[in-house]
Amino acid sequence: PVTAVILVAAGSGQRLGYGIPKAAVPLGGEPILMHALRGIVASGTGSQVCIALPPGEDTLRRLCEDFRQELADGGPLLSIVDGGATRAESVRAGLAALMDGIEAVLVHDAARALTPESVFHRVTDALAAGAAAVIPAVAVVDTVKTVAATTGKDAHLAPEVVTGTAPREELRAVQTPQGFHLDTLLKAHEAARGLDQDESAAVTDDAMLVEMLGIPVHVVRGSTQSLKITTPLDLILAEGLLEGPLG
């Protein structure tokens, strides 16, 4: 299918705590955004790459425009849009800027700046094989439990109490790029407009919206190198990965 990549890079990076948008934070001397962008182009994925930037981030915008000049003939069309207040709104801003003829879309977090080409290929291969929705994921190493705030006579013991333990072998930590047939993703984001504020806040990826439609979401192998740079520790890990990929 004729494919586009929507690169969502419009977040503020609160948890990284740099005081500038996360996409602009340096990693190996270059903004996180540029690593993500080069990774997409190197993978050869997409006839179009649509980047959602924080509104008013003129330096990042100029870097993207310079990169567009560098792209050889035959490279993807590079589009730049203003992102929205939430990740989902940034995705929708990207969807609104797709060129005619696009049949499939990969949505990718700029924060997963070091995603290996092989992950892009596993996602696009599954799309080409006919999957309407496909996500990369890895096994979970921690035991994961659900909790609730402690109430009643035990409230002084600890802030939270366990309500359940999910069977770890069934759990996956989900990454991006997430791939969709365009009509599926459009339908999912159209349905998302009907969610109330709490429901919207609970939407952390695009696949969730597709799941709500009852459409199967297929899972391919992700990569530990695809970590989402979220906290200062993640940035240290990413700097380390730049020095030499994992075996």
Binding site for Mg ion (CB under 5 A): 11
Choosing from 14, 69, 151, 163, the residue that interacts with ligand CTP (CB under 6 A) is 14
Number of H helices, E strands in the chain: 8, 12
CA distance 161 to 148: 6
Which 191-230 residues touch ligand CTP, going by CB under 6 A?
228, 230
Q: What would the x/- binding string for ligand CTP be over residues 101 to 130, using CB under 6 A?
A: --------xxx-------------------
CA distance 183 to 132: 9
Biggest alpha carbon distance in the chain?
69
189 sits near ligand CTP (criterion: CB under 6 A): no
- Please choose, from the candidates 39, 4, 36, the residue with its C-alpha nearest in 3D space to the C-alpha of residue 23: 36
Number of C-alpha atoms within 13 angstroms, CB side, residue 201? 3
Q: Which lies closer to Mg ion via its Cβ, residue 15 or residue 168?
A: 15
Question: Under 8 Å CB-to-CB from 36, ≥6 apart: which residues?
Answer: 7, 9, 23, 108, 109, 110, 111, 112, 113, 115
* Residue 15: contacted member of ligand CTP, Mg ion, none (CB under 5 to 8 Å, by partner type): ligand CTP
Which 75-94 residues touch ligand CTP, going by CB under 6 A?
83-87, 90
Supply the minimum distance, in Å, between the C-beta of residue 109 and ligand CTP: 4
Which 18-57 residues touch ligand CTP, going by CB under 6 A?
22-23, 52
Q: Which lies closer to ligand CTP via its Cβ, residue 38 or residue 161?
A: 38
CA angle 208, 99, 4 (to 5 degrees): 45
Binding residues for ligand CTP (CB under 6 A): 8-15, 22-23, 52, 83-87, 90, 109-111, 228, 230
